[in-house]
Amino acid sequence: MGTLATILTLILIFSFFVFVTFFGRLPALKNTPVASLYRLLWVHLPKKIYSLDTRFTGGRFTSSISRFGNHMLYDRHPTVVIIFLVIMLAGYTLYLPAIFPQISLLTKATCCVLASLPLIFLYLSCAVDPGYVTPETLSYHMTLYPYDYALFHPGAECRTCKLPKPPRSKHCSICKRCVAKSDHHCVFINSCVGYGNHRWFLLLLFSTAAMTSFGGILGLSVLGHDLQRKYPAFTLLPSRSVSNSYTRWASIWGFGLHSNIPLGSSTLLALLTSPLVWGLFFYTLYQVYTGVTTNESQKWTELKEDMEDGYAWTRSLPMNRTRDLKIEPRCERWPVQPERVIVATVDGLAPKRPGMVGEGEWVRVRALREVENLYDMGFWDNLGDVFVQDYAFGEGLDEPVAEKRRKKR
């Protein structure tokens, strides 16, 4: 069991660190052990190493590590994509030749399709323009979404790109450009996830999750049937039928995995990575369901804190207001328009600046549930907006989409 145990332990440790690194900063996991472990790994431990290094080598070790780390973290390079591809292709090389002699033609075809899809979607996620905002594409990206006057207000300019910031866009310090409907920069595709490639990213996660589940279960059933030939009383699921003992059942499984190392190790790799990929897929799908991007979910969290501290204010935004079309083009595509403006002030007092948009008295907003998310049109329309470029809302409906659904956050 030596080789298998080592592979298993390494995969488990790796998956756990990936989980902590990716999920540790999520607002939803604040005040949980995952967030504490993230801080320990990525804040406290580097600080401790830095202070030790300053004392012993004058900081030489950490400065070269940080130069390398900065390059790895803040520049575009395909290292993680290559590692991801190598692991995937190594898995295929171990798995497919070992399992092919033992499965039907239809199952072989399913394996080939399931093995190809993640590669195709990985290529599309990497190669398709995520929605970079350039002088040429600016006017197109400006008309995709309206400003919601809560997270995105017109008139802001990116300090680096020197271009107006379209609604839902964000500057990526790694791509060094603004990205339309920016979700996050993903090292697994060496690109941002944005308006242009969100659909390919979602399909990459789904196809990888489906492949690892199918491969894992198929591998287990083939290995199990091999074992049943040797031990007729053996069952695939935990059972005491073999010599009346779970330990013996587990040790027969161990023997089975060990007797076919290529199939055993690739099956374990598939089974252990599968929950992580399904987790990432459902998290991304949940964001589509709620109509927020990762970037917006962080902005909503900040606004929520401002609301709870009494720093957020709102007032009405008349529908017939005059717009400065130079900074706020009309968005014909989006079926709803903002009805309120929400701002957070630095001193906690009502906004006083003359000429601010909106009319009527400013009132404090105390909770997120009092506020509408303009970009949430309901799950199916949100999904349509991800998958269809320039998605037309409400086609074939009698009632306007705006009436159909105006959901509170």
Which residues make up the interface to Zn ion (CB under 5 A)?
158, 160-161, 171-172, 174-175, 178, 185, 192
Give the CA distances from residue 90 to residues 63, 266, 269, 270, in Å, rounded to whole numbers and listed in that order.
35, 8, 11, 12
Angle at 91 between CA 89 and CA 95, to 5 degrees: 120
Nearest to 402 by CA among 369, 368, 378: 378
**Helix, strand, or coil here: 186?**
strand
Tell how strand 132-133 and strand 177-179 pair up: antiparallel
> CA 247 to CA 253: how far, in whole Å?
10
80 versus 402: smaller Cβ distance to Zn ion? 80
**Helix, strand, or coil here: 364?**
strand
**In this structure, are residues 264 and 272 in contact, taking their beta carbons and an 8 Å threshold?**
no
Q: In this structure, what DSSP letter does residue 369 have?
A: G
* Shortest Å distance, C-beta 203 to Zn ion: 19
Give the distance from CA 409 to its chain's centroid: 21
**Helix, strand, or coil here: 164?**
strand
41 versus 174: smaller Cβ distance to Zn ion? 174
Looking at the DSSP bridge assignments, the partners of residue 177 are 172
158 belongs to the catalytic site = no
17 versus 74: smaller Cβ distance to Zn ion? 74
151 versus 161: smaller Cβ distance to Zn ion? 161
179 versus 269: smaller Cβ distance to Zn ion? 179
For 187-311, list the strands marked E by DSSP: 191-193
Q: Pull the structure tokens for residue 165.
A: 């910031």
Sign for the pseudo-dihedral over CA of 277, 279, 282, 285:
negative
> With the CA atoms of 306, 310, 311 and 312 taken in that order, what torsion angle do they form, in degrees rounded to the nearest 10?
80
Which residues, including other chains, have CB under 8 Å from residue 147's CB and lie 6 or more apart? Answer: 153, 154, 167, 328, 338
For 12-57, list the strands marked E by DSSP: none
- How many of the other CB atoms lie within 10 Å of CB of 164? 20
- Which residue is associated with the tokens 């105390």? 366
* Shortest Å distance, C-beta 171 to Zn ion: 3
Phi, psi of 36 (to 5 degrees): -65, -40
- Which position among 126, 161, 186, 192 bears the catalytic label? 186
* Shortest Å distance, C-beta 391 to Zn ion: 23
> CA 172 to CA 167: how far, in whole Å?
15
Active site residues: 186
